[in-house]
Chains A and B, each alone.
Chain A
C-alpha cells in the first residue's frame, strides 16, 4: 500500500543554522507532495508543495527537494528561527484526492 515515513522523529538545531527534515515514501503514483508545519494545539499549516515533475522548489527560507529515484523528499529551512519550532509533516497526494501523511518530525530550535 501507499505510505509516507519520516527518518527522524526529533531534530534539534541551533538558532541560525539550517535544518533538513527528510521523508521517504513508497509506491507512489502521486503527482504532488506537500510539507506542513503543525504547532501545538493547532491545525497543520501549508508550507510548500512540489509536483512530481519537479526536483526542487524554493519558497521563503524553505526549499523542498524531490528525488523520485530513491523516493525521498526533504525540506530545508534556512537560518532556522525559534518560531520554526513545530512538528513537520510530509504528505503526498493519494488516489482519492486525499493526503497521506507521515508521522512527523519535531523540530526544536535552541536559542
Chain B
C-alpha cells in the first residue's frame, strides 16, 4: 500500500499528557498537510510543509501544538498538555502540487 499512512489510528490520553502522531506521506509528494476534524464538520487546516519547510500555520494551531518534518519525508504532530477540546480526528494529507491531496486514515484522539 503506497498511500498516506498514519500512526496510531487511535489514541486515548489523560488531560495534561503529551501525545505525538506520525504521518508517512506518499513518497514522491513534497507537500504534507495536517488537518483536524471534529464530529459533523469538514476537516480544518492546521499546517503544511513543502519538503522540510513548514510554510503555513493556521490560527487553530495553538502554542501547545508543534509539527515537524525533519527530512522532508515523514512528519510528526505533537500536542502538549492535552485538553478535552483537543479530542478530534487528526488527518494527514500529501500532494505533489497545489491540487488534489490524498488523505491518510487519520488518528482519532480522545482526551479523558
Contact = CB atoms under 8 A, between A and B. Distances in A.
A69 to B, nearest CB: 23
Contacts of B98: 31-32, 93, 97
Q: Size band of the B side of the interface?
A: 20 to 34
Contact of B42 (A42, A46, A104): A104
Interface string A57-99: 0000000000000000000000000000000010101101111
B10 to A, nearest CB: 10
Contacts of B58: 98
25 contacts: A31-B98, A32-B99, A34-B99, A41-B105, A42-B106, A43-B91, A43-B106, A44-B43, A46-B100, A46-B102, A89-B43, A91-B42, A93-B98, A94-B45, A96-B45, A96-B56, A97-B31, A97-B48, A97-B56, A99-B101, A100-B45, A101-B42, A103-B41, A103-B42, A104-B42
Interface of A: 4, 31-32, 34, 36, 41-46, 49, 89, 91, 93-94, 96-104
